[in-house]
Amino acid sequence: MEKKHLGKIFRIESKDYYVWDANGNEIRCNLPGKFKNELRIKKNKLFTLDYVVVGDDVEFVRNNDGSGVIKKVCERKNCLSRKALKSRAVLNRGERVEQIIASNVNNLFIIASILEPPINNRIIDRIIVAGESNKINVNIVINKIDLLKQKEQVEFWKNFYENIGYSVFITSAIKGIGIENIKNKTQDSVNIFWGPSGVGKSSLLNAMFALDLKVNEISQYSQKGVHTTVTCSMIKINKDTFVIDTPGIREIAPYGIKKEDLGYYFKEFIPFIKNCRFNTCTHSDEPDCAIVEAVENNFINLLRYESYINILNTIEQDMYF
Q: What is the pLDDT of residue 212?
A: 84
Question: What mean pLDDT is reported for the chain?
Answer: 87
Per-residue pLDDT of 187-228, as tens digits, reads 999 999 999 999 999 999 999 998 888 775 544 433 444 444
Q: What is the pLDDT of residue 39?
A: 59
**Residue, of 34 and 154, whose pLDDT is higher:** 154
Q: The pTM is what?
A: 0.88
Q: What is the pLDDT of residue 48?
A: 60
pLDDT of residue 264 exceeding 60, the answer is yes
Q: What is the pLDDT of residue 259?
A: 94
Q: What is the pLDDT of residue 46?
A: 47
Q: What is the pLDDT of residue 315?
A: 86
Per-residue pLDDT of 166-182, as tens digits, reads 999 999 999 999 999 99
pLDDT of residue 316 exceeding 90, the answer is no
251: confidence class by pLDDT, cuts 50, 70, 90: confident
What's the mean pLDDT in 276-304? 97
**Residue, of 55 and 318, whose pLDDT is higher:** 55
Q: Are 55 and 8 in contact (CB under 8 A)?
A: yes
Q: What is the pLDDT of residue 224?
A: 45
- Angle, helices 152-162 vs 121-132, to 10°: value is 20
pLDDT of residue 21 exceeding 90, the answer is yes
Q: What is the pLDDT of residue 258?
A: 92
Q: Which domains does the chain have, with CATH numbers?
A: 4-75 (2.40.50.140), 98-245 (3.40.50.300), 259-319 (1.10.40.50)
Per-residue pLDDT of 56-94, as tens digits, reads 999 999 999 999 999 999 999 999 998 876 645 444 444
Per-residue pLDDT of 301-314, as tens digits, reads 999 999 999 999 98
Q: What is the pLDDT of residue 44?
A: 46
Q: What is the pLDDT of residue 38?
A: 62
